[in-house]
Structure 1
Amino acid sequence: MNKITLKEIRFKKLKGLSNVTIKFSKPLTAIMGVNGSGKTTVIHALSCLYNPDGNGENHIFPEFFTPNTDASWSGSELEAVNEIIGTDGVPTLLPPKKYYKAFDRWAPRYQTRPKRNVYYIGIETCLPDIEKKNQTTKISYVSQCQTSNVARKTIQGAAGILNKNYTALMDNCYKGTHFPGVELSDSLKYSSLSMGSGEQRTIKILEKVTRAEKYSLILVDELDLLLHVSAFRKLVKELNRIAVEKKLQIVFTTHSLEILSMSEYIGIQYIENVTSPTGSANSFVYDRLSEELIYNMSGECNKPVKIYVEDSLAKDIVHEIVRDLQMTFLVEICKFGAIENAFTLAASFIIEQRDTRNILIVTDGDKYCTDSERMDHIEKKLCGTEDDAEDKRQAALQLIHQFSLPTSTPPEKFLHQIILETFPQDNSIYQAAQAIQGVNDSHEWISNICDRLDESQETIIREIFKYASSHELFLSYIDNIKTWLSQHQNI
């Protein structure tokens, strides 16, 4: 088996892509862009680069780029740059492999392609195979429980992503056609004929990725198709876990801006096509999304409300307040680090004469808690003696709000106590919190819970909002921030 990895693909000319280079720096790569930008063209081209190295699929260019009245594809040209790991474990960059169509046939011959297993998952996987036969009479299929390790891992992954109590993956057979099904913990069984389209596609994706050999290339067109946001995020995290474990490359197209919150897992390649004043078309690729590109995708302008917080814990808490107030599309949350930076930030906004009506700087509430303490720090940043110096300092002070913590209590310790006071005792988060009696660092009151349960901090905070929604101390803790945000709901 070749230990081969695709580093980049260069399109000289293919369909609407011209002089475009797509790079692959992470196990997961999202190909993004508006409709017609060439996302699916990239996926289709990638599927044709290799010969199967075992059980992989054998796709060829005419399968996706079929000659027709309007397009012969003559003049198409691209090249791929691969890296291979030798028997000594040393990676070597291979010379670029060129693919082109000069006349009637694509070159070079397919048998000379590098060996690598490729699996393509198109949007047609939203339909069960049996439905593609337009069957209208009763379908009496034979159902059998799949007991393989692949089936077990597939159904476990699907259960977590879709929040379903699956216990088994079924194989259903009707007149030689196989299609999947599931069994639930209450012994209910149903096939893909009765599944939601997003559900069956998730199972198909997971099954194919789980079954794939190491170093395979997995290609998925419209990964987010028919999935709600929570399921999509969980699917991405599960695919990343499998890709890292098996040295896979997973490349997918998507329109979902949820990708922005998962950049730790995903490399972004955004394709933008621009027509010059002379009428010539140019394509550009970006590895991050600017506000302009986000607007192209969503039609939404830059979020008008800016909230600055100390760390990821505060960011997750503010995010939940924002979500509760249904202000997600209005508010951008940024981290500024150490609390001292809050005063530098506030002073800079005043010096720059920024419009600060929709800007809030939030401190944790365990340090520099009084107005006089905060003003001492602001005076060090705004130390002028001009006539309006005091007005500037007061304006900077008004930008800074804080969470309302009990005296000398770190926020993580406070939230730990809230869990013990509000969560049911049979709740796993409560049990993990109760087991933590002391810590070396205050952050560990929450991070240790995350580690014990293998849950994200975001999940823990969301559960705290669920169970502590009427707790007096917790409501007081978030009141300053929630009140300020409530006053900006109708901007």
Structure 2
Amino acid sequence: MQISQQRLHKLEIRKLKNIKDLCISFEMKNITGILGPNGYGKSTILHALACCFQPPNEDQENYKFSNFFLPNPDALWEGSELTLFHTYRQASQLHENVEQPYGKSSDRWKPIYRRRPTRNVHYFGVDSCVPLIEAEKRNVKINYSTSNVSEDIITTILEKASYCLNKQYTAYNLHDSGRGRKFIGVEANGIRYSALSMSAGEQKIFLLLERVFRAIKYSLILIDELDLLLHDSAMKNLIKVISDRAQSHNLQVVFTTHRESIIELSNLINIRHIFGTSEKTFCFNETKPDAINRLTGTQPRLIEVFVEDDVAVAIIKKIAGQLGISRHVSIQRFGAAINCFTVLAGLLLRGESCENSIFVLDGDVYKTKEEQEKCLKAVLTGDDEKAKLLRQSSLEKIKCLNIPENIKPEKYIHSIIINLKEIIDNEGNEIIGVAKEIVAVDNSHKYVDDIISRLDWDRGAGLSKIIDLVSSTQDWANYVANVKDWLTSQIPLVQEVTSQEV
């Protein structure tokens, strides 16, 4: 009976190669990009998917577990176990969310190959990217006959290749060198050349496009290392082309990549980031900063906080640390409080969205929205609707620390400390004792500066210890409430979610 309308939902792997207890979902979009460091099982997932189906016709490639998991003295693959979840229509009957288990408990994989579900599967491995000239073993002149291919689908492929590579292709040829050896060729800018002269990336684009555009509806296409040999812009253009084709022909495409820039296309593709420990393999459904760090070795900081001085820096670091997001927070200083409005306006006028940014005032000046709006109006001028909206959005970016009226920030910190009774921590008690010795100063900054000086501490370390002590008091929650609430709202931006949690 005819099988159609196949849809892959998810794959659960209890054990396969180095993958342990993995659940990866392919829902939402037709294309799924799998990212992750080397050695965590990205290619293994593609290999497993290729082997989960049998082809509908004998003349099509029949991928078997032994093709990818060849038994050897170090790996017999016994104990391998995985489950496929998929939907398909058989004649008029729809079979939804069918579970199909696979595994190897002895010398054979189960189920037997002819009992696997049916689907057209096209696997495009890394070996498919080897430039033809490097695969050619002869070192003498190569003769071949040329025939032009002019079917409608080839015209479409030429158009899409032109878009991907920003190069005008006008013809597609088939070259025959005899003894069954055939390969493609193209014409561009009036020059005809074969795959023997193509760049590796150019050859890959044409091979992939032909595979994708010749695939029948509901096919599953698996591409290992999609980014390999491709410039970033060519790769992104290729994904856009594949996305359109997948949408119109109900194709599902799963590919692996190391290119973190792929997240810019998350509106078109599912992002799945693979990472493993010795006990478990995780699949995160979005590539958040921690995932990018694992890919690139650098830690992006998506949350940006602008403050007046180094005391405020220590306060923000403490709040972020308490929320467990310190590694995601970048802290910049703008100096005097009045500079807050100039810097904020400058960023917005330059086109920065500041969507994940706030500007924190110490709380002694410009506390009210009226005062803040007046300052913003001086740097964001105009009475038109656009100017008003810009000022309104700017106001939402300004947060104040909560301190009593007519008191300076350092004086307030000092007052919290001297009101503390003796605590268990000796270092904290010493800070309290020194603070109580400071009764009057000629500059409010000295309420904090003198504590650090008398204890002979490095300023950064001293501020951190003082703020640690203040954060242990009942006053802390109200003092930092506005900033903490905003930072808490940003946690979903940087918190990874696994397939199991969806």
Give the TM-score, by structure 2 length: 0.62
Structure 2 matches for 1:471-482, cutoff 5 A?
A: none
- The one of 369, 391, 405 aligned to 1:386: 405
Distance 1:150 1:274, change over 3 A: same
Which of residues 123, 138, 146 in structure 1 aligns to 2:141? 138
State the match for 2:261 in structure 1.
258
Aligned equivalents of 1:193, 1:147: Cα separation in 2: 21
Q: How does 1:49-60 map to 2 (within 5 A)?
A: 49-54=52-57, 56-60=60-64
Report how far residue 376 of structure 1 moved.
11
Letter in 2 for 1:386: E
The alpha carbon displacement at 1:153 in A equals 1.5
Deviations 1:414-445 (A, max 9, x none): xxxxxxxxxxxxxxxxxxxxxxxxxxxxxxxx
2:175 is equivalent to residue 164 of structure 1 = no
Task: State the shift of 1:30 in Å.
Answer: 0.8
Picking from 106, 110, 113, the partner of 1:110 is: 113
Which of 379-388 and 243-252 deviates more?
Answer: 379-388
1:174 aligns with 2:177: yes
In 2 relative to 1, CA 80–346 (structure 1 residues): closer, same or farther, beyond 3 Å?
closer
Task: Give the structure 1 partner of residue 243 of structure 2.
Answer: 240
Deviation at 1:34, TM superposition (A): 0.4
Task: Check the 8 A contact 2:361/2:398 in 1, yes or no.
Answer: no
Equivalent position of 2:286 in the other structure = 288
- For the residues of structure 1 that align with 2:79 and 2:380, how far apart are their CA atoms? 60
2:39 corresponds, among 19, 36, 39, to 36
2-structure distance, mates of 1:231, 1:70 = 40
Higher alpha-carbon deviation: 79-88 or 217-226: 79-88
Q: Secondary structure at the match of 1:160?
A: helix
**Aligned ranges for residues 295-444 of structure 1 at < 5 Å?**
295-303=293-301, 306=304, 335=355, 346=358, 349-350=360-361, 367=385, 369=387, 386-387=405-406
2:206 to 203, 206, 215: 203
The answer on whether the counterparts of 2:358 and 2:398 sit within 8 Å (CA) in structure 1 is no
Q: What corresponds to 2:65 in structure 1?
A: 61
CA contact (8 A) 2:54 2:62 kept: yes
User: Compared with structure 1, are the counterparts of its residues 155 and 379 closer, same or farther at alpha carbon in structure 2 (3 Å cutoff)?
Assistant: closer
- 1:129, 1:178 within 8 Å by CA — same for their partners in 2? no
Q: Distance in 1 between matches of 2:94 and 2:362?
A: 52
- Alignment partner for residue 24 of structure 2, among 22, 25, 47? 22
Q: Which has the larger radius of gyration?
A: 2
Structure-1 separation of matches of 2:47 and 2:380:
49
Per-residue CA deviation, residues 215-273 of structure 1 (Å, 9 max, x unaligned), is 00000000011111111111111110000010000000001111211111111221111
Question: What pairs up with 1:148-163 in 2 under 5 angstroms?
Answer: 148-163=151-166
For the Cα contact (< 8 Å) 2:216–2:249, is it kept in 1?
A: yes
Question: What displacement does 1:335 show?
Answer: 3.7
For 2:7 and 2:66, the matched residues in 1 are separated by: 24
| Residue 17 to residue 188, structure 1, CA distance change in 2 (3 Å) | same
1:216/1:375 CA distance change after superposition, 3 Å: closer
- Match of residue 274, structure 1, among 268, 272, 277: 277
SS of the equivalent of 1:386 reads coil
Q: 1:130·1:179 contact (CA, 8 Å) conserved in 2?
A: no
Quick one: distance in 2 between partners of 1:134 and 1:352? 75
| Cα distance in 2, alignment partners of residues 218 and 305 from structure 1 | 37
Say whether the 8 Å CA contact 1:21–1:285 is kept in structure 2. yes
Q: Residues 23-52 of structure 1: CA distance to partner in whole angstroms, max 9, x if unpaired?
A: 101200011110001000001111111111
Structure 1 Cα separation of the partners of residues 18 and 98 of structure 2:
26
User: Across the two proteins, how many residue pairs are aligned to each other?
Assistant: 348
| Cα distance between partner residues in 2 of 1:118 and 1:303 | 40
Contact 2:34 2:273 in 1 (8 A): yes
| 2:70 pairs with 1:70 | no
Which residue of structure 2 lines up, in the alignment, with residue 83 of structure 1? Answer: 87
Residues of 1 paired with 2:381 and 2:241: CA distance? Answer: 33
Offset from partner CA, 1:176-229 (integer Å, 9 cap, x none): 111111112x43111111111111101100100000000000000000111111
Q: What residue in structure 2 maps to residue 326 of structure 1?
A: none
CA distance in 2, matches of 1:376, 1:230: 34
Counterparts of 1:93-132 in structure 2, within 5 Å, are 93-129=96-132, 131-132=134-135
Q: Describe the SS at the equivalent of 1:182.
A: strand
2:231 partner letter: H
Q: Structure 1: where are the runs of 5+ without partners?
A: 276-280, 309-317, 323-331, 337-344, 354-360, 391-491
Deviation at 1:333? Answer: 6.0
SS in 2 for 1:224: coil
State how far apart, in whole Å, the 2-side matches of 1:145 and 1:18 are: 50
Amino acid at match of 1:350: L
1:12 aligned to 8, 11, 14, which one?
14
- Measure the CA separation in 1 of the matches of 2:202 and 2:140: 24
* Mapped contact 2:87–2:98 kept (Cα < 8 A): no
Question: 1 or 2 for the larger relative contact order (CA 8 Å, sep ≥6)?
Answer: 2
Instruction: Give the aligned residue type for 2:5.
Output: K
Q: Hey, what's the Cα distance between the residues in 1 that align with 2:65 and 2:268? A: 30
Structure 1 residues 112-134: Cα deviation after superposition (integer angstroms, max 9, x where no partner)? 11111000101112224574341
